[in-house]
Structure 1
Amino acid sequence: MNLELKNKLKYLALLNAIIEPEWEYRYYSYNSKWGDAEEMASLRDGCGGEWFVWFYNESIAFKCTSPVDGLVDNFQTLKDKVPRDYSIFLNEPAFSMDMGSCIWFLNNDCWQKLGNSISDLPNPETIQKMKAKDFCEFVDEIYEQEINCDLVAKIFDGKFEIEMASKINPNIDLTCLKEELLEIGLST
């Protein structure tokens, strides 16, 4: 699950970087060099919804703030139920750990879910099931653009080549995109 989820999140960040070169207008981001042996994916919807997926060796955790799905009244009670192995995650200031809707953590390849159910934003389970068609619909709805779903499918299959970026967005600056690839942890 670890590698499959990581790759899907990296491909979503890559596709979002191609479609929207300005970082502040993106939904999906990925930082493969978040910390010593740490990687981090994030989503921001521009309406107060956000989440973070944290990877550390074999540990994976997810923290979501979804105003639509509701915030937990006393978020600390959720944090207190998470094993100590996740203390780096729980104490990360960038993850806004003072409030949220839920925390998930992986235990024996099964998600332990604390807090509210999330239906307004994609979560790790729905992301793993996401198909190219789903992403193309997202782009059409959010960015009001049509993109080639066959190219998206190839990227989801790990077959990205830099020329594909120009086919998806003819105005993309490939030099900047190559720098983004390094942060995401992908190569061409």
Structure 2
Amino acid sequence: MTVHEVARALPDIAVLRDRCRALAVLDAILSPQWESRYYSFDSRWAHGEEMASMRNGSGDEYSIVFLAAGAFIRGFDHESPMSPAFSEFGEVWPGVADSVPEVFADCMSEPAFSFEGGLAATVCLWRQRTDDRWHTGEIEFPAGPDPDGAHRLFAVLTDATPLAYRRFAEDYYEQRLDGAATADIHALRPLTNDVVRRLNPELSIADLAEDLAQIGYPVRPDERQP
């Protein structure tokens, strides 16, 4: 899988945003300490902007910025031969970001996404509100099964079912997950204390209040107290 396959597998912007929020809530429940989480979502990223992110703690990451113009995705696989770290001047691999529309210029120059003054990216995708699909650059990939790291970075996000996240989390957190509870959150159903405790018996919705507010995830009105 390369960025081209990811572009074909991703849902539209609204569905992607919901999926990102669900992943963030699942990680917030399984990992109360933010530093240990893979997936996050910040509905307060900037004025009129939200950001979903993934960080694996080993240098691989992605950022998805949702803004009025549409959505911009940056992925970075630090071991990919396409990493700016392997270019002479820290440059992004040819074609990855050359054709990103001007409406996403602020995302391209965002300091949080930078590597030695340039964009830290081996993958870029974008979609404006009026587009009917995700776009990528014209890229000549180096040899290898996952040259830009797109499969490793986005395999969970491109799966329309909760199974990919469940497999990931059971391996990473070394615990069995309640399948029905995982599916409820993946479907963005309003959160209940029962669902939370089936995934983490030590937590309640009250414990997650700040995370849920930051993520913008719905809570069933009668379940806001422990």
- Same-fold status (TM-score > 0.5): yes
Deviates more, 1:48-57 or 1:148-157: 148-157
Query: Structure 1: which amino acid aligns with 2:218?
Result: S
Q: Is 1:75 aligned to 2:92, yes or no?
A: yes
CA contact (8 A) 1:37 1:56 kept: yes
Which of the pair is proportionally richer in helix? 1
- The alignment partner of 2:152 has SS state of coil
Note the aligned Cα RMSD (angstroms): 2.0
Pairwise CA distance, 1:58 = 4.3
Percent identity reads: 26
Distance 1:44 1:103 in 2: 16
Q: Tell me, what secondary structure is at the counterpart of 1:138? A: helix
> In 1, are the aligned partners of 2:65 and 2:73 still within 8 Å (CA)?
yes
Instruction: Tell me by how many angstroms 1:162 deviates.
Output: 2.9
1:8-23 equivalences in 2 (<5 Å): 8-23=19-34
Q: Tell me which residue corresponds to 1:178.
A: 209
- Shift of residue 112 of structure 1? 1.6
Task: Quote how far apart the aligned CAs of 1:173 are.
Answer: 5.2
Q: What residue in structure 2 maps to residue 45 of structure 1?
A: 56
Asked if residue 103 in structure 1 is aligned to residue 147 in structure 2, the reply is no
Matched letter for residue 112 of structure 1: H
- 1:168 matched to 2:191? The reply is no
SS of alignment partner, residue 32 of structure 2: coil
Shift of 1:158: 2.0
What is the aligned length?
186
**Change in CA separation of 1:110 and 1:172 when aligned onto 2, cut-off 3 Å:** same
Counterpart of 2:14 in structure 1 is 3
Structure 2: unaligned runs, 5 residues or longer: 1-11, 140-147, 220-226
Deviates more, 1:52-61 or 1:88-97: 88-97
Kindly report which structure 2 residues correspond to 1:46-65, keeping only aligned pairs within 5 A, or say none: 46-65=57-76
Greater shift after overlay, 13-22 or 91-100? 91-100
**SS at 1:47 equivalent:** coil
C-alpha distance in 1 between matches for 2:153 and 2:191 = 29
1:107-186 to 2 correspondences below 5 Å:
107=128, 108-114=131-137, 116=148, 118-122=150-154, 127-163=157-193, 164-172=195-203, 174-186=205-217
| Over 6 Å off, 4+ runs | none
Provide the rounded CA distance (Å) in 2 between the counterparts of 1:80 and 1:113: 9
Pick the structure with greater CA Rg: 2
Alpha-carbon deviation of 1:110? 1.7
Native 8 Å contact 1:69 1:120 kept in 2? no
Q: TM-score, normalised by structure 2?
A: 0.75
Q: Counterpart amino acid of 1:155?
A: I
